[in-house]
């Protein structure tokens, strides 16, 4: 049955009623609009220092001379947004940039969740979801996977019908499970509440529902430059959504959570998509080799659509200790319900992966 709920009615009244922060006009826009060369634009509006941060000396390299770090970055993150338009095919008013996918998740929860609101997640999933939901006073409704670690789409839909928000990680962290596009479309259509699909690992799975935001205003797709683009240290993530959803996220977005250096470097990375794609291909090829060499030493390896392996070992304490003795750190999920012995292992360079296999073999 298709529901006819109005997702827009699920926006918190406090957010629906608030006066959004009015962004400062960017220097580039002043220059374009008023015909002043951009280097002649002076910010008397932001209470910043007129002095360049020369105490940083050579640490900034070429950026020290070309980037006005004493000023705030352009709050619309124009250089990133224009490139994301090219990368995703969406228009700029449907893209929201933030400090990592984590900030975009935070904005999403902030718009819809307050005391008593019901948020559906699959279990297990990304550990930040319960933290965010609880922080905003929401009630977490965790829908357990069907064995072995595959999402239960029918149960998610059933729970989502009376929910105020549904958060779906696709492919899932930590299991690597991928829900197909048709199933996601069914979820988005049938639950009718806001649905956030976290595609942090999209470049590895190759599967996206970003295009469905054309048709489903209740859908928001969340992505990051932290994984495939090799830029976790920059802290850049983004949302792809309907105009209406993007406008809501922008209402609660801090104006300057992404720094100027991050903006410049993210823009450069988005100009080099071929490099990102070659890296993804190399990681996926190495994943095959790594999976094969790990195989003999583990109880099970579950298929993943990501840049990590998800596996189960018989004695996690011994394995994790042996790995740590060699300086190798994995995500041990043993403490989570039904996940004894489960480890999440990132695919790294082949020499590093060989060290992992050798340490694992030493336990066997
Ligand atoms: N979502 C998922 C599923 C993740 O695995 C991560 C990174 N651990 C994030 C979001 C956060 O990404 P970012 O570094 O962009 O904040």
pLDDT of res. 297:
97
Residue 2 has what pLDDT? 60
Query: What ligand 1 atom has the least distance to the C-alpha of 236?
Result: 15
pLDDT in tens, 123-147: 999 999 999 999 999 999 999 999 7
Q: Give the tens place of pLDDT for each residue, 318-361.
A: 999 999 999 999 999 999 999 999 999 999 999 999 999 999 99
What per-residue confidence (pLDDT) applies to 48? 80
Closest Cα to atom 6 of ligand 1: 200
Per-residue pLDDT at 3 = 60
Neighbours of 8 (CB within 10 A): 13
Strands 308-312 and 300-302: antiparallel
For the CA of 101, the nearest atom of ligand 1 = 15
- Exposure string of 197-227, with b = 16+ CB inside 10 Å and e = fewer, is bbbbbbbbbebbbbebbeebbbbbbbbbbbb
For residue 364, what pLDDT is reported? 72
Is 126 a pocket residue for ligand 1 (Cβ < 6 Å)? yes
- Note the pLDDT of residue 68: 86
Q: Is 270 in the pocket of ligand 1 (CB under 6 A)?
A: no
Domains and CATH numbers, the chain: 23-52+274-361 (3.90.1150.10), 57-271 (3.40.640.10)
**CA of residue 331 to ligand 1 center, whole Å:** 14
The pLDDT assigned to 71 comes to 92
pLDDT < 50 positions in the chain: none
End-to-end CA distance of the chain: 52
């Amino acid at each position: 049955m298709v529901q006819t709920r109005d997702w827009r009615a699920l926006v918190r009244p406090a957010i629906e009623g608030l006066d959004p922060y009015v962004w400062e006009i960017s220097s580039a826009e002043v220059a374009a609009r008023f015909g002043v060369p951009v280097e002649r634009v002076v910010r008397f509006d932001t209470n910043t220092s007129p002095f360049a941060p020369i105490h940083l000396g050579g640490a900034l390299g070429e950026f020290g001379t070309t980037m006005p770090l004493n000023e705030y970055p352009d709050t619309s993150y124009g250089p990133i947004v224009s490139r994301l338009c090219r990368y995703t095919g969406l228009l700029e008013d449907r893209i929201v940039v933030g400090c990592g996918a984590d900030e975009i998740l935070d904005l999403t929860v902030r718009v819809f969740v307050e005391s008593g609101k019901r948020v559906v997640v699959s279990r297990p999933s990304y550990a930040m979801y319960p933290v965010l939901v609880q922080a905003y006073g929401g009630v977490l409704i965790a829908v357990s996977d069907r064995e072995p670690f595959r999402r239960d789409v029918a149960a998610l839909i059933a729970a989502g019908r009376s929910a105020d928000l549904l958060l779906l990680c696709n492919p899932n962290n930590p299991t690597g499970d991928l829900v197909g596009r048709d199933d996601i479309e069914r979820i988005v259509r049938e639950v009718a509440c806001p649905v956030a699909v976290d595609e942090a690992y999209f470049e590895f799975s190759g599967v996206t529902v970003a295009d469905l935001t054309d048709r489903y205003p209740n859908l928001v797709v969340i992505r990051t430059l932290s994984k495939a683009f090799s830029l976790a240290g920059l802290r850049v993530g983004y949302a792809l959504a309907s105009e209406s959803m993007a406008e809501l996220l922008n209402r609660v977005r801090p104006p300057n959570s992404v720094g100027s250096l991050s903006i410049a470097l993210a823009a450069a990375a988005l100009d080099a998509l071929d490099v990102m794609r070659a890296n993804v291909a190399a990681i996926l090829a190495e994943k095959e080799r790594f999976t094969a060499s790990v195989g003999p030493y583990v109880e099970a390896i579950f298929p993943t659509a990501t840049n990590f392996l998800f596996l189960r070992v018989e004695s996690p304490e011994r394995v994790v200790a042996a790995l740590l003795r060699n300086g190798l750190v994995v995500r041990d999920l043993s403490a989570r319900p039904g996940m004894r012995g489960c480890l999440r292992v990132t695919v790294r360079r082949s020499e590093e992966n060989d060290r992992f296999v050798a340490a694992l073999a030493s336990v066997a």
